[in-house]
Structure 1
Amino acid sequence: MNILIIEDEARIANRLKRMTSEFFTDKTINIIVCDSLQKGVEQIGKHPPDLLLLDLNLNGEDGFKVLEQMVAASFHTIIVSANIDKAITAFTYGVLDFVPKPFDQDRLFMALTRFVSPAIKPDEGIKYLAVKRAGQVRLINITEVIYIKGAGIYTELQLKNEQTELHDKSLEHLQQILSHKFERIHKSYLVNFEQVEKLLTNSGSRYSLLLKTGEILPVGRSKYKELKNKSI
C-alpha cells in the first residue's frame, strides 16, 4: 500500500508518518512525504498513491487548488489541516475525512479506520462528484446521479440528462463517501434510492429494480432481503 503525505511542517509530517505506520502495523506500506504542493503533485503524477494525507496550507499555497483533481482521482484523500472553516467544503468535494489540527492519535486513527472499513459511511455524504474530461475537472451534483455502474477499476455515472460520465474511483471507493441514499444492490451497481420505483421478483429466483426512468437493474440475491425491507 502506498501512502502520500503532503505537509510542509517537518514535525507534523514526521508525526503523521509515525502514527500512520503504527496504524498499519499488520500491512506492508510505503509512505512518501512531500513538503510542497508542487512536489506532491509531481509524485502523484509518477506514482498515484492508495491514500493521500493533504494539508490545505502549504507555504502559503492553497491545497484547494488541487483538491478537485485529488478527489477526481482513483485514491482517497484525508485532509489534515488547521483550516477547520474549510471542512464543510472539503466534504462537499468528496474527501474521505477532515482531521483538524492539532490532532491526536485517536482522531487520526478514526480517519484511517474509515479508509479500511467501507461500512463506515458519512452522515450526509458528498454533494458533488468530480470527474475528469479532456484534462479538465467538472463537478457533478450528486442529485443528478441515478446510478453508478462498475466498469473494472473505473465507474460509470448514469445521469438524469441521459449522459454517462466516467469516474476514476471504484465502486468500493465511491460507496465509502456516498450517503446512505446510495445502496449497493449488486456487485456492479450503486443506486440512488430516490430514483427507485419498485423491487421486482422474476422467475428463477431472480430479482431486479425498476427505476423511475423505466430502466431495470439486476439485484444480487444476497441483497434482496435487505432491499425488501425498505420502503420502495
Structure 2
Amino acid sequence: MLRAIIIDDELNQRENLQIILENHCEGVKVIGQAENVIKGASLIGKLEADVVFLDVQMPGGTGFDLLENLESHSCKFVLVTAHKEYMQKAFKFSVFDYILKPVDIKEVKDTVQRLKAQTKTDSKSSSHGNKLVLPSSNGTQFIDKEQIICVKAEGSYAELTLRESTTILVSKNLKFVSEQLGEEHFMRVHRSYLANLYHVEELVRSEGGFLLMKDGIEVPISPDRREEIILRISTLLS
C-alpha cells in the first residue's frame, strides 16, 4: 500500500486528486492533506508517507521552498502544477515525477505504477536472515542486526550506530532501513531515530526525554511516544 500526502492550496484540487488516487489507482491511501507548505512540512514530519503530491504556487511559500528547507524525509515527491516552465527546476530537486494540471487520470495511474516499481526495486536491497544488506559509500555493507543500537536519519541517508560505538553511513533513508529491519524490538522513537529496544538501559525523562543505550549512547525520544516505548519494552521483557 502506497501512503500519500497531498499539498495544494485549492481544496477542489486536493479532493479531485484524492479521488483519482483512491478510486482509480490500486493500492494507494491518502493519509493527509495540507493547504500550504508549513502544514505540509508538519505532516511529512508526523506521518510516514511513501509519496507527496506537491503543488508549486501556494500562498505563504512555494513547493520549492518546502523541498529546499525540508531537513529529512523518507518519501518521494511528485509535483502537480499548471506551470510547465517549472519542470527543469523540479528535477534539480530530484522529484520523482511532474504532472501538469488539469490532472489526467491516466497520467496519475502511470506515475503510481512507476512508484510501485521503484519501491519494489528498492526492496531488493533487503535483509537476509540475521544480516542487513545495505549500500554504503564504499560498496555493500552486511550488518548483524543485533549489533545495531540505533539508526539516525541523515537526510536521504541513514547513520547506523553499532556496539562499541561503531558508525556506518548507508545510502538509504531511515524509513527504508526501518522496513528492512522489521522486528518488533526496533522502534521509531523519534522522527529522526530508530532504536533497538533490547539495548535500552534507561529511559531518562529530563531534557525532553531520551533513551540511555548500551555503550552510553543517548537517543532522543518524542514525548508523545514515551508511554508506548515503556509498554513495548515491558512486553519484550515479559
Deviations 1:3-55 (A, max 9, x none): 11001111111110000002344x37243211111111111122131211000
Q: Are 2:51 and 2:75, in contact at CA under 8 Å, matched by a contact in 1?
A: yes
- The 8 Å contact of residues 80 and 98 in structure 2, kept in 1 or not, is answered as yes
Evaluate the alpha carbon distance shift between residue 149 and residue 156 of structure 1 in structure 2; reply closer, same or farther with a 3 A threshold.
farther
Which amino acid in structure 2 is aligned with residue 5 of structure 1? Answer: I
Cα offset, 1:147, TM superposition: 6.4
**SS of residue matched to 1:29:** strand
Unaligned runs of 5+ in 2: 122-135, 146-150, 160-168, 178-238
Q: Distance in 1 between matches of 2:100 and 2:120?
A: 19
Q: Confirm or deny: 8 A CA contact 2:20 2:105 kept in the other structure.
A: yes
SS in 2 for 1:61: coil
Partner in structure 2 of residue 18 of structure 1: 19
Q: 1:70 Cα deviation (Å)?
A: 5.2
**Is the 2:5–2:31 Cα contact (8 Å) retained in structure 1?**
yes
Q: Please say if residues 148 and 156 of structure 1, whose CA atoms lie closer than 8 Å, have aligned partners that are also in contact.
A: no
Length, aligned pairs only: 142
Query: Within 2, Cα distance between the matches of 1:82 and 1:93?
Result: 18
Q: Mapping of 1:31-50 within 5 angstroms? A: 31-50=31-50
Displacement of 1:83 in angstroms is 2.5
* Structure 1 Cα separation of the partners of residues 54 and 16 of structure 2: 14
Q: TM-score, normalised by structure 2?
A: 0.49
Is the Cα–Cα contact under 8 Å of residues 71 and 95 in structure 1 kept in the other structure?
Answer: no
Q: Which amino acid aligns with 2:173?
A: D
Match of 1:52 in 2: 52
Kindly provide the amino acid, as one letter, of the partner of residue 24 in structure 2: F
Distance 1:31 1:88, change over 3 A: same
1:88/1:120 Cα in 2 relative to 1: closer, same or farther (>3 Å)? farther
Give the structure-1-normalised TM-score. 0.50
In structure 2, the CA distance between the partners of 1:59 and 1:116, relative to structure 1 (3 Å rule), is: same
Structure 1 residues 55 and 68, CA gap change in structure 2 (3 angstroms): same
Assess, with a 3 A threshold, how the Cα gap between structure 1 residues 147 and 83 changes in structure 2: closer, same or farther. farther
- Provide closer, same or farther for how the CA distance between residues 70 and 99 of structure 1 changes in structure 2, counting only shifts above 3 A: farther
1:148 Cα deviation from its structure 2 partner: 6.3
Is the Cα–Cα contact under 8 Å of residues 18 and 30 in structure 2 kept in the other structure?
no
Q: Against the structure 1 CA distance between its residues 31 and 44, is the aligned structure 2 distance closer, same or farther, given a 3 Å change threshold?
A: same
Rounded to whole Å, the distance in 1 between the matches of 2:81 and 2:69 is 18
Find the counterpart in structure 1 of residue 63 from structure 2. Answer: 63
Cα distance in 1 for residues equivalent to 2:46 and 2:62: 22
Equivalent-residue separation in structure 2 for 1:109 and 1:98 (angstroms): 13
1:61–1:28 Cα change, 3 Å: closer
Q: 1:97 to 1:73 in 2, by over 3 A?
A: same
Q: Which amino acid aligns with 1:41?
A: A
Q: What SS class does the counterpart of residue 58 from structure 1 fall into?
A: coil
Task: Tell me, yes or no, if the aligned pair for 2:21 and 2:28 is still in contact at 8 Å.
Answer: no
Alpha-carbon distance, 1:167 to partner: 5.0
Q: Report percent identity of matched pairs.
A: 21
C-alpha distance 108-90 of structure 1, shift in aligned 2 (>3 A): same
1:89: Cα distance to partner? 1.7
Q: Is the CA contact (8 Å cut-off) linking 2:45 and 2:73 kept in structure 1?
A: no
Paired residue type of 1:15 = N
Task: Tell me if structure 1 keeps the 8 A contact 2:157–2:172.
Answer: yes
Distance 1:167 1:62, change over 3 A: same
* Contact 1:149–1:155 (8 Å) recurs in 2: no
Shift of 1:2: 2.5
Q: CA RMSD in A?
A: 3.5
